[in-house]
């Protein structure tokens, strides 16, 4: 294959390429809109007196106020959630009814409010009661939250999609051989019935007691041959062998730790100007704003680290399978299913992507095999 990006553009066709590039624009617009909605929502709470009223109503309880504040944010940002659905409808990737989508939005919003409420309520309570131990408090909260998110990933997947054991002896033997060569125990193959809701494809290797299991979107199974699926799994096993799961978890925790300290600094600096007591829970929305803005800024660096780990996982997949063609077929299929622009603008990739572009990954793969030869 002479030029994978050119082939993908050809297979997408003019309409598909337009959709891929429009999707990138909407991704950037969505990022900016989320920041604008965040600032506007916090401003309402602080300037309209909602924060002070909620502090009195909750008896200065940081957890109750955090839950109330975040539940309100879920409602306030509902238009952005629907914008994401509208984008999927325009792309033609959505297969879910409006009622089904609303049910999923309710489930995911409730889980998010609960988790984020515990995070911000606990962090603010620690900063308020033991300000001299802010460093240790932020460290403990960020580490615990990262571990909770990691543990909940399989639950969240199964909460949103039907999953079932994948009964395919031939595929199990092929994937089992990849696991055996990598020296990783295989604990099962699972099929994700994602096709009921979306035409997008994906796959993942997730921890399970004593080893790892592989989950395949049904859409991806339909689009890829066994060798291409084997490369996708080999790539994911690269993350396992390189301890990327633990390293990315640690990087996330570090970023959250710095963001929590930034939120505390924002309260100390801006609360007096807003006539707020820094130790009053009425300042919690300001704390939230400082944390989220710092996290958004820091995500640029987290994404850069993630992109570097993807290149390393690709190399492991090449070493395990010795098959650049399987890589090319897998990414051609994924690009078509997900309307991925193989060569997005550099600034979009730098700011918003946690994976390198297909063009950059393909070029790295070509260099690897040319060196190997």
Note the CATH number of domain 165-238. 3.30.2010.10
How high is the pLDDT of residue 52? 93
Q: CA 246 from chain center: how many Å?
A: 15
Residue 185 · residue 211 · CB < 8 Å = yes
Torsion angle, CA of 310/316/320/321, rounded to 10 degrees? 40
CA-based nearest residue to 77, from 23, 30, 117, 38: 38
How high is the pLDDT of residue 279? 87
Torsion angle, CA of 266/268/272/276, rounded to 10 degrees? 80
Residue 190 · residue 166 · CB < 8 Å = yes
Which residue, chain included where needed, has tokens 């066709």? 13
How high is the pLDDT of residue 323? 86
How high is the pLDDT of residue 155? 87
Name the H helices within 62-97: 62-76, 78-91
Residue range(s) of every CATH 3.30.2010.10 domain in the chain: 165-238
pLDDT block averages, 10 residues each, the chain of length 373: 85 95 95 97 95 94 97 97 96 95 96 97 91 88 94 88 90 93 93 94 87 92 92 94 93 96 94 89 96 96 95 94 91 93 93 95 92 63
| H helix or E strand, kind and range, residue 189 | strand 186-192
How high is the pLDDT of residue 372? 61
Please give the Cα distance from 306 to 247 (Å, whole number). Answer: 10
Tokens describing residue 57 = 């109503």
Residue 251 · residue 258 · CB < 8 Å = no
How high is the pLDDT of residue 2? 62
How high is the pLDDT of residue 129? 85
């Amino acid at each position: 294959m002479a030029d994978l990006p050119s082939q993908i553009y050809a297979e997408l066709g003019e309409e598909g390429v337009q959709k891929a590039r429009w999707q990138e624009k909407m991704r950037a617009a969505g990022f900016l809109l989320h920041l604008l909605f965040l600032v506007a929502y916090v401003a309402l709470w602080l300037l309209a007196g909602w924060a002070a009223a909620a502090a009195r109503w909750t008896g200065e309880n940081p957890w109750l106020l955090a839950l109330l504040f975040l539940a309100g944010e879920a409602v306030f940002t509902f238009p952005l959630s629907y914008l994401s659905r509208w984008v999927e409808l325009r792309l033609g990737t959505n297969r879910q009814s409006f009622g089904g989508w609303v049910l999923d939005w309710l489930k995911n919003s409730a889980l998010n409010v609960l988790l984020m409420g515990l995070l911000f309520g606990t962090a603010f309570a620690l900063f308020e009661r033991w300000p001299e131990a802010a460093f240790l408090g932020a460290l403990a909260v960020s580490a615990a939250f990262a571990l909770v998110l990691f543990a909940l990933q399989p639950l969240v997947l199964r909460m949103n999609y039907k999953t079932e054991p994948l009964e395919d002896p031939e595929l199990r033997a092929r994937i089992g051989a990849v696991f055996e060569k990598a020296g990783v125990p295989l604990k099962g193959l699972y099929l994700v019935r994602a096709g009921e809701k979306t035409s997008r494809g994906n796959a993942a290797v997730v921890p399970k007691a004593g080893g790892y299991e592989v989950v395949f979107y049904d859409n991806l199974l339909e689009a890829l041959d066994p060798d291409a699926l084997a490369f996708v799994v080999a790539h994911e096993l690269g993350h396992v062998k390189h301890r990327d799961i633990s390293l990315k978890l640690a990087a996330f925790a570090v970023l959250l730790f710095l963001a929590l300290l930034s939120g505390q600094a924002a309260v100390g600096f801006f609360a007096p100007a807003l006539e707020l007591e820094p130790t009053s829970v009425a300042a919690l929305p300001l704390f939230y704003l400082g944390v989220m803005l710092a996290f958004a800024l820091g995500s640029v660096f987290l994404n850069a680290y993630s992109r570097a780990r993807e290149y390393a996982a690709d190399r492991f997949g090449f070493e395990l399978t010795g098959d650049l063609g399987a890589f090319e077929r897998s990414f051609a299929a994924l690009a078509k299913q997900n309307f991925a622009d193989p060569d997005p603008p550099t600034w979009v990739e730098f700011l918003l992507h946690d994976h390198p572009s297909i063009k950059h990954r393909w070029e790295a793969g070509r260099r690897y095999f040319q060196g190997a030869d």
